Chain A
Amino acid sequence: MRDFSYLRATSADDAQKAALQAGAVLLAGGTTLLDLAKCGVTEPETVVDITHLSSLDGIAVDEGGATIGALARMSEVADHREIKAAFPAVSESLSLAASAQLRNMATMGGNLLQRTRCSYFREPGVFAACNKRNPGSGCSAIGGVTRNHAILGTSDACIATYPGDLAVALVAFDATVEIGSRRVPVDDFFLLPGNTPDRETVLEKGDIITAISIPASAAARNSTYLKVRDRQSYEFAAASAAVGLEFEADGRTVRDIRVALGGVATKPWRARAVEQALVGKALDAETVEKASSLAMEGAVSQGGNHYKIELAPRVITRAIEQLGLKVGGLA
């Protein structure tokens, strides 16, 4: 890890000024930053520690929704009683991620900004070509070992998977990212790789995420996060789904359904085609299965990740069935 200077911000203004310096990066939980600094992917000149700012770590939930400070820790939000009641998928996406230690460290803002686990991205000493690290240098993953790479939202320049769980639940329930006074829907916050995979979010230099807000909804209250992975725990998703479901008064016709996918796309992936196919329908196994397969429209397999095209719709189907059975609407 290259040496850097350390600056402890004592106010948000302080932090923002420091973050504008060339070579400056913000340090919150540190679980991504220090990991990537050790890999040689990130070489900060100045690390601006914002963990001593006390005004950004609150969690407030009311009838309208939740506002979660950017510095709230994953474990605090996962275990928060009102978050669990109003947004079970959000709580589950957090408690199924990483390990207990990492969840005590990593913050909500930092969680959104975690970088891909693409092995080629993470090994600059071995793989020089990576458009995300070094724009224009090429992609070592295309034609390589691609078991964990994306099938949706990819480009000729990059096929790296967005690895997070939280953002998948957030995008399903129309959450917004607060950057000072700016509010950006999570779906717009993340960018597709296109020809510029080095640009992953709309954040500009000096921007600081201050909070995440999630509007309350009946679908969010009846929601779940299903994560399928190569080992039972402490692993990134092979495929995951955040699903929320609201029935009409008859208890079986879908009024509102939210579906988002993780582990298969270059950004947190809202599966609107699946949602549109199910609104107004009574759920039965065949309808759900047929609708789930619509999520794979436009999917491109690299070979090693071909299994995801079959796996992801099954994860959606299973999540909807689990939820439908729980609320009693599945025929």
Chain B
Amino acid sequence: MTRTIHLSLDINGRRHELDVEPRVTLLDALREHLALTGTKKGCDQGQCGACTCHVDGKRVLSCLTLAAQVEGREITTIEGITGENGDLHPVQAAFIEHDAFQCGYCTPGQIMSAVACIREGHAGSDEEIREYMSGNLCRCGAYNSIVAAVREAAQATVKEKMEVA
């Protein structure tokens, strides 16, 4: 007999109700139950980073997170980072500017990881960016452009903070 449990998940500022088997991961809940297919399934075992989302503002792998575990937490996916008018997030804009992808499959995970990486203060140099983005693999090998995009977005964020201050 298949058991299901009822969950209320807060995703991108909206409450979603769903009934799923307890073994359903956050990744499968997003993609298969809530039609939020921006989050990608790569390896499905915590090795590639394609499924990166934010839980309470921190980047995590949704393939190794049970949906049931994150009830009551604030979940953000790639669909939730654009501005109110649909403006691209500065990291998204930087990825386009630097052509930081080829096939694009790893890109949502790269962008979610980069947004958090900059917020954590771990984007201070190319070396630091490489180290703190190492959990996101790109099999097309767009790494140089990804580092350039993260560097530019990080510098723009610092500049913006200084101007606000």
Contacts and interface: CB of A to CB of B under 8 A. Distances in A.
Interface of A: 1-6, 8, 27, 30-31, 34-35, 37-39, 47, 49, 51-52, 75, 98-102, 104-105, 232-234
Contacts of A51: 69
B147 interface: no
B46 A6 contact: no
B161 interface: no
A49 B23 contact: no
Given A31-B46, A47-B22, A100 B69 contact: no
A106 to B, nearest CB: 9
B122 A100 contact: yes
B151 interface: no
A31 B45 CA distance: 9
19 contacts: A2-B23, A3-B3, A3-B22, A4-B23, A6-B66, A6-B68, A37-B23, A47-B66, A49-B68, A49-B69, A98-B135, A100-B113, A100-B133, A101-B49, A101-B52, A101-B60, A105-B65, A232-B131, A232-B134
B23 A100 contact: no
Contacts of B132: 100
Contacts of A1: 23
B61 A3 contact: no
B114 to A, nearest CB: 11
A285 B159 CA distance: 47
B20 to A, nearest CB: 10
Contact of A233 (B5, B22, B122, B134): B134
B58 interface: yes
3 nearest A-B pairs in the assembled complex, by CB-CB distance = A99-B135, A6-B22, A233-B134
Nearest to B65: A30
A38 B58 CA distance: 24
Interface residues of B, number: 35
Interface in B16-67: 21-23, 25, 44-46, 49, 52, 58-61, 63-66
Interface centre among B52, B117, B120, B135, by most chain A C-beta atoms within 10 angstroms, is: B135
A102 to B, nearest CB: 7
Nearest to B121: A79
Contacts of B60: 101, 104-105
Consensus secondary structure, chain A interface: mixed
B85 interface: no
A168 B49 CA distance: 26
B98 interface: no
Given A3-B2, A3-B22, A234-B134, A101 B45 contact: no
Nearest to B22: A6
A234 B21 CA distance: 32
A48 to B, nearest CB: 11
B130 interface: yes
A102 B68 contact: no
Given A39-B45, A51-B69, A105 B23 contact: no
Nearest to A234: B134
Contacts of B65: 30, 34, 105
Contacts of A98: 135
Contacts of B59: 100-101, 104
B111 to A, nearest CB: 13
B134 A30 contact: no
A234 B23 contact: no
Contacts of B44: 38
A2 B22 CA distance: 10
A49 B71 CA distance: 12
Nearest to B68: A6
B46 to A, nearest CB: 6
Given A3-B21, A51-B69, A233 B61 contact: no
B116 interface: yes
B49 A38 contact: no
Given A27-B66, A34-B66, A101 B22 contact: no
